[in-house]
């Protein structure tokens, strides 16, 4: 990670220079230090991660708008305005995470408030959705409580007949003050909170946090620990792809798919539980390494599982690929063309299914991936079928990686002591979760967490879903949505 400060007039030009060099925005956040606010951006560049800071003069509350350069920066700027009180000049100034349950001038990440303030008498307010006018246009409002077992959010569809003209998302319903909560936890305990940013990506977020902490503390993780972290991350990827592939088949009317994939997933999670003590491997990644070592019989069991899952999924893929009814729903649904995907700055499997070869395990490989030669899965069509295809390919690649890790797992310690420095320290973590790149920016001061920003790839991909669903029919929305499967909790924090 390379951290550097810039002046206000260079904020936008730095962003443009990153784009010209083929880089992209990873995250945008603000941090209040010693009575002045520092606005931060993390960029992915060919040389690695670049953390750019714009210190604002004391009392300043405006920052140049980056949403013209990076489409998805708009919502992160709105979150920044709600949490820290710094607004982007000329950007969308609607509240985003603040739904009216706390006052507009209450900025929870300010060090001057404790975060424990209660504004109990306040009710949530209406949201000024963008209205589509025209003959025959009507709105369908969905959520925050959805019809299935899903996280809460609101979708406002403007439709003509069954065709979606526009979708506008309203998120923030599960904002529970995670970033403020980080500052109340000891640095050596906070990996548990990171592991609960989004339960389906618990390994990735916990690793992101630990990577940031280890950088800030100068701790060197033993090789065996890195490899075991990789093992857990790939197991998490397989579990999620199994779950989503079943759900995708089900959403297109093939309950058979859900039955078989969910059966495989259940066995997979039981092995995770027996190996790492938890069905999702929560709290398996800890500062300095991993909580549990894996012994030879468990490694052997994991390898056997891989062979069995591969065999079954190959058969299921053949069924899905040759099912005309299913393919009719998958092909061309929710299409995100490569040009649009590039303009929107999408990440993770959504980007790879729209022709963009971005995978940190390949292009920014860290231990153990630098010695594993991950084969990236990509597709060019950008539709539901492409995202299904990428998921299948990634699942098989993860099975291969798990087998290789089990075989080549280095000997030695699986945890090292992490010593928290007394002064100011910075660290960044950057991990390719099953959904896309997870990022964590950590600032320590006096042995405590001054600021911890956790970023889920859902921030990049939620706005793209609004585009992918345009001109599709309303009944295809659940299918398209599932093919993205974005996190609400990871976004709302």
Partner 1 sequence: MRRILFKILRTGIVTEQVHALQESPEVERIQKELLEILGRALCIRQVDAGSCNGCELEIHALNNPIYNLEGYGIKFVASPRHADLLMVTGPVSRNMEQALKRTYDAVPEPKLVLAVGDCGCDGGIFGESYASCGRVSNVIPVDAVVAGCPPRPVEILKAVLGLARRVR
- Neighbour order of strands in the sheet with 24-33: 2-5, 48-55, 36-45, 24-33
User: Which of 316/372 has CB closer to partner 1?
Assistant: 316
User: Which of 28/316 has CB closer to partner 1?
Assistant: 316
User: Which of 201/354 has CB closer to partner 1?
Assistant: 201
User: In angstroms, what is the minimal distance from the CB of 262 to partner 1?
Assistant: 4
Distances from the Cα of 166 to the Cα of 16, 129, 162, 187, 466, angstroms: 29, 11, 12, 43, 7
Q: Are 116 and 194 in contact (CB under 8 A)?
A: no
Closest CA to 39 of 31, 47, 50: 31
User: In angstroms, what is the minimal distance from the CB of 476 to partner 1?
Assistant: 18
User: In angstroms, what is the minimal distance from the CB of 136 to partner 1?
Assistant: 27
Structure tokens at 167: 């979708």
User: Which of 33/279 has CB closer to partner 1?
Assistant: 279
User: Which of 87/202 has CB closer to partner 1?
Assistant: 202
Distances from the Cα of 301 to the Cα of 97, 179, 295, 304, angstroms: 44, 38, 10, 5
Tell me which DSSP letter residue 339 carries: H
User: Which of 151/393 has CB closer to partner 1?
Assistant: 151
User: In angstroms, what is the minimal distance from the CB of 278 to partner 1?
Assistant: 9
- Whether residue 291 is preceded by a cis peptide bond, meaning omega within 30 degrees of 0, is no
Measured distance CA(464)–CA(84) in Å, rounded: 26
User: Which of 25/313 has CB closer to partner 1?
Assistant: 313
Task: Find all residues with CB under 8 Å of 116, minimum gap 6, and list them.
Answer: none
- Chain residues that interact with partner 1, rule: CB under 8 A: 99, 101-102, 106, 108, 113, 115-119, 123-124, 144-145, 147-152, 172-178, 180-181, 192-193, 196-200, 202, 243, 256, 259-260, 262-263, 265-266, 269-270, 279-280, 282, 315-316, 318-319, 322, 487-489, 492
Count CB neighbours of 354 within 10 A: 28
User: In angstroms, what is the minimal distance from the CB of 490 to partner 1?
Assistant: 8
User: Which of 5/315 has CB closer to partner 1?
Assistant: 315
User: In angstroms, what is the minimal distance from the CB of 101 to partner 1?
Assistant: 4
Closest CA to 193 of 202, 386, 152: 202
User: In angstroms, what is the minimal distance from the CB of 52 to partner 1?
Assistant: 28
User: In angstroms, what is the minimal distance from the CB of 184 to partner 1?
Assistant: 9
User: In angstroms, what is the minimal distance from the CB of 435 to partner 1?
Assistant: 12
Closest CA to 83 of 58, 119, 107: 107
User: Which of 325/422 has CB closer to partner 1?
Assistant: 325
Structure tokens at 461: 């991909």
Beta bridge partner(s), residue 36: 33
H or E stretch covering 39:
strand 36-45
User: Which of 12/282 has CB closer to partner 1?
Assistant: 282
User: Which of 198/483 has CB closer to partner 1?
Assistant: 198
* Exposure class string for 87-108: b at 16+ Cβ within 10 A, else e: bbeebeeebbbbbeebeeeebb
Q: Quickly list DSSP for 209-254.
A: HHHHHHHHHT----HHHHHHHHHHHHHHHHHHHHHHHHHHHHHTT-
User: In angstroms, what is the minimal distance from the CB of 480 to partner 1?
Assistant: 19
Distances from the Cα of 251 to the Cα of 245, 347, 468, angstroms: 10, 24, 17
Q: Are 410 and 224 in contact (CB under 8 A)?
A: yes
- Whether residue 368 is preceded by a cis peptide bond, meaning omega within 30 degrees of 0, is yes
User: In angstroms, what is the minimal distance from the CB of 81 to partner 1?
Assistant: 16
């Amino acid at each position: 990670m390379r951290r550097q400060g810039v002046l206000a007039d260079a904020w936008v030009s730095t962003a443009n220079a990153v784009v010209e060099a083929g880089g992209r925005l990873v995250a945008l956040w603000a941090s209040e230090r010693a009575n002045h606010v520092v606005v931060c951006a993390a960029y992915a560049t060919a040389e690695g991660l670049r953390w750019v800071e714009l210190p604002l003069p004391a009392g300043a509350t405006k920052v140049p708008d980056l949403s013209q350069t990076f489409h998805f920066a708009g919502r992160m700027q709105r979150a920044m305005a709600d949490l820290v009180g710094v607004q982007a000049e000329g950007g969308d100034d609607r509240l985003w995470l603040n739904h009216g349950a706390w006052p507009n001038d209450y900025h929870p990440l300010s060090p001057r408030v404790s975060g424990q303030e209660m504004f109990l008498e306040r009710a949530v307010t209406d949201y000024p959705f963008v209205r589509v006018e025209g003959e025959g246009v009507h709105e369908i409002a969905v959520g925050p409580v959805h019809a299935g077992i899903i996280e809460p959010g609101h979708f406002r569809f403007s439709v003509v007949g069954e065709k979606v003209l526009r979708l506008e998302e309203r998120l923030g319903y599960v904002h529970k003050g995670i970033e403020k909560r980080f500052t109340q936890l000891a640095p050596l305990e906070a990996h548990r909170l990171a592991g609960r940013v989004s339960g389906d990506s618990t390994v990735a977020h916990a690793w992101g946090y630990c990577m940031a902490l280890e950088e800030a503390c100068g701790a060197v993780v033993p090789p065996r620990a890195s490899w075991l972290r990789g093992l857990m991350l790939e197991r998490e990827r397989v579990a999620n792809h199994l779950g989503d592939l079943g759900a995708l088949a089900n959403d297109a009317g093939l309950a058979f798919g859900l039955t078989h994939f969910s059966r495989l997933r259940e066995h997979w999670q039981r092995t995770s539980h027996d190996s790492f003590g938890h069905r999702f491997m929560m709290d398996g990644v800890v500062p300095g390494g991993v909580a549990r070592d894996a012994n030879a019989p468990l490694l052997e069991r994991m390898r056997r599982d891989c062979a069995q899952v591969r065999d079954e999924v190959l058969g299921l893929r053949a069924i899905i690929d040759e099912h005309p009814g299913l393919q009719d729903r998958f092909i061309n649904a929710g299409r995100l063309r490569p040009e649009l995907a590039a303009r929107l700055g999408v990440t993770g499997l959504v980007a790879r299914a729209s022709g963009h070869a971005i995978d940190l395990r390949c292009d920014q490989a860290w231990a153990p991936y630098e010695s594993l030669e991950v084969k990236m899965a990509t597709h060019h069509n950008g539709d539901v079928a492409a995202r299904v295809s990428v998921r299948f390919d990634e699942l098989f690649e993860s099975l291969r990686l798990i087998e290789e890790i089990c075989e080549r797992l280095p000997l030695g310690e699986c945890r090292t002591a992490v010593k928290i420095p007394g002064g100011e320290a910075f660290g960044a973590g950057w991990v390719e979760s099953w959904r896309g790149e997870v990022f964590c920016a950590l600032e320590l001061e006096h042995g405590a967490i001054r600021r911890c920003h956790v970023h889920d790839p859902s921030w990049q991909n939620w706005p793209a879903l609004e585009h992918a669903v345009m001109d599709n029919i309303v009944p295809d929305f659940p299918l398209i949505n599932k093919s993205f499967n974005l996190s609400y909790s990871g976004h709302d924090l």
